[in-house]
Structure 1
């Protein structure tokens, strides 16, 4: 049904495709590709099969992706988007643990069924990347983007330039911690769907970012107050 909707939208659109629509289409292709990769393996999955699953031509698939393995990239990247969005919105007056706790509660209220399904598929791709070098490339590309974003976040937090050596070192350490946590939690979930690891992941991320940066990143910024707070 979803594939038919994407195909019909593509036909009705005509002319150029907006960036938002392009991202939506790439994500839909990514979902079907990842499902096939998990069910039958990467080698056994062809571009024609991916195209058929989405309801598009194979030629259209190759207009959006350089090869079949790269079809996994949008969904894999989505798997770390919540973490990065949470870090970008981290207010100066909150500790990282308090901010992650608040955002986790909000996610629990707002996450859709599609979001949950995407998370499950992304976990499978990260796990499959252990034995599939091409998928490992997609995962490491996502991690590289996380490191670049992390440098901006940490630079702002510390009042330093992104190019500062300490900022870059902190960003590298923190993004490596995020990668390992995602891989660890994903492996645990695939072994046991009821594992507490997933529920504990946000707090673990906050603690590991703090540890990875030697406590340079994690505390509320001194002197910052929540909007609306009055001076004592």
Structure 2
């Protein structure tokens, strides 16, 4: 009889990520509803049925509880980048990604929470760090994708420069759209965000990245 095996700690790591995300969801809700200053670690812990001691095992400060929900909002873009086939332009790839994208209500709620924390970060420096950490992660992922498409190492200066420019432009785009989304403004006049992201990458890299490449 054969038995399945798994790496030691694999399930515990999965459980840890789930707990961190659940804490982050509740922290983001409390921060948005009552403000960061009025929210305590005790409140966050109680909202997910954990002890304060357990909360501090997962997060170093109450503000850092926002990090997983903010990072989650960028996961789809990072995933899309790594699935970008060489034979497609970035516009065609992101258009196809949009057609294939099926966001669950939970994912949409997480996206909204991430946008709220990004916007709240304008007046809360400790929350701002969570958003900037996510932007830094996206920049590193961009560097890996750009390096692959240009056939250069990820630490190549030109690759890193392209990634920094594209990552910075993506940050500006998100920060520009975020307040409008939360205000419930009519976004029909705003260009397709997927195509806006494609254009940002192409323009920020001066056209070096965006076209199909030879395999």
Structure 2 match to 1:80: 74
Q: Following the alignment from structure 2 to structure 1, what is the Cα–Cα distance between the partners of residues 74 and 26?
A: 19
User: CA–CA distance in 1 between the matches of 2:191 and 2:72?
Assistant: 18
Residue 98 (structure 1) aligned to one of 88, 92, 95: 92
Superposition RMSD on alpha carbons, in Å?
1.6
User: Moved runs in structure 1, 4+ residues, more than 6 A?
Assistant: none
C-alpha deviation, 1:57, in angstroms? 0.8
Is 1:165 equivalent to 2:149 in the alignment?
no
Preserved CA contact (<8 Å) 1:27 1:75:
yes
* Paired residues of 1:84 and 1:146 also in contact (CA < 8 A): yes
CA apart distance, 1:197: 7.0
Report matched runs for 1:142-181 at 5 Å: 142-181=134-173
Residue pair 1:206, 1:218 contacting (<8 A) in 2 also = yes
Structure 1 unaligned blocks of 5 or more: 1-14, 225-232
SS of 1:27's equivalent in the other structure is helix
CA distance in 1, matches of 2:10, 2:133: 28
Q: How does 1:51-200 map to 2 (within 5 A)?
A: 51-107=45-101, 110-196=102-188, 200=192
Structure 2: runs of 5 or more not aligned: 1-8
SS in 2 for 1:18: helix
What is the DSSP-based 3-state SS (H/G/I as helix, E as strand, rest coil) of the residue aligned with 1:162? coil
Paired position in structure 2 for 1:28: 22
Give 2:31's aligned residue.
Answer: 37
What's the offset of the Cα at 1:16?
A: 8.9
Q: CA deviation at 1:196?
A: 3.1
Q: Partners of 2:49 and 2:185 in 1: how far apart?
A: 31
Instruction: Tell me what 2:40 maps to.
Output: 46
Q: Which has the higher helix share?
A: 1
For 2:181 and 2:145, how far apart are their aligned partners in 1? 29
Q: What is the CA-CA distance between 1:24 and the residue it aligns to?
A: 1.1
TM-score by length of 1: 0.85
Matched-pair contact (CA < 8 Å) for 1:79–1:119: yes
Q: Does the aligned pair in 2 maintain the 1:75–1:122 contact within 8 Å?
A: yes
Aligned length: 207
Deviation, structure 1 residue 94: 0.4
